[in-house]
Amino acid sequence: MITLYGSFPAFGLPQASPFVMKTEVQLKMAEIPYRLERGSRENGPKGKIPYIVEAENCLGDSTFIRDHIEKGYGIDLDRGLTPDMRARSWAIERMLEDHLYWAVVYQRWMIDENFDAGPAHFFDTLPSEAREQARTAARTQVAATLYGQGLGRHSPAEVADLGCRSVKALATLLGNKAYLMGPAPSAIDATAFAMIAAATAPAFVSVLRDFTEDQCNLMRYRDRLMADYYPSYAARRAA
């Protein structure tokens, strides 16, 4: 059986990491039995989560995990898609994972109120004398990563503007369809659902969240997939 090593429920979401949500949803789409465990980046083969362990194999990165489960189990999560649809799926995935994701990270870590409400609590179990030092060090490292990626070189308003452009593009591509590529879900829907859920995490307040929640088709899409793949969280939102 596959063991998926992920993050943990946080911020009003089933998983703190959208990449873990993506992989978990793809495993559910493929109807492959798995066990979920909390993992640490230090133990992952690429220094990040998610990663999976199956028999003697340990594999990291959500994209390569998908490749593994499709090849290993004879499954095509994009079955029925044309070459053009597959190409568009890849382009959308890159927009979401290499652009929108970083706007979400900025929202969580660089806005003081959001940091205090969310990531700051990652260090609550540390001794009091080490807690603030760890928080400062981690936030400094995230800021450096964002600067290297590029979004961290912009003002908060500019980061929000760029993130909202990707959200608007996704809303336009979805239109009135049930799923991004048509009437049936495919692999890209796991990615899009996870990123939209992350952008609208209840714990955080931001321009990006407000704008995303104004896209009614994305909210219907998020809520439908949440009900399909995380019904207990969907019920909690509805309560």
What's the length of the chain?
Answer: 239
| 179 Cβ contact partners less than 8 Å away, ≥ 6 residues apart | 185, 186, 189, 221
Burial, 110: exposed, middle or buried (Cβ in 10 Å; 0-12, 13-18, 19+)?
Answer: middle
Inform me whether the pLDDT recorded for 80 exceeds 70.
Answer: yes
3-state SS class at 53: strand
Is the per-residue pLDDT at 191 higher than 80?
Answer: yes
pLDDT in tens, 139-170: 999 999 999 999 999 999 999 999 999 999 99
For residue 129, what pLDDT band results from cuts at 50, 70 and 90? confident
Confidence band of 238 (pLDDT split at 50, 70, 90): low
Q: Which residues on adjacent β-strands are paired with residue 3? A: 35, 53
Give 2-37 pLDDT, tens digit per residue. 999 999 999 999 999 999 999 999 999 999 999 999
According to the model, what pLDDT value does residue 209 have? Answer: 98
Domains defined for the chain, CATH in brackets? 1-77 (3.40.30.10), 81-239 (1.20.1050.10)
Strands 2-6 and 34-38: parallel
Strand order in the sheet with 57-60: 34-38, 2-6, 51-54, 57-60
Q: Identify whether 202 is preceded by a cis peptide bond (ω within 30 of 0).
A: no
- Which of 75-79, 125-129, 144-148 shows the lowest mean pLDDT across its residues? 125-129
- Region 51-71: what's the mean pLDDT? 95
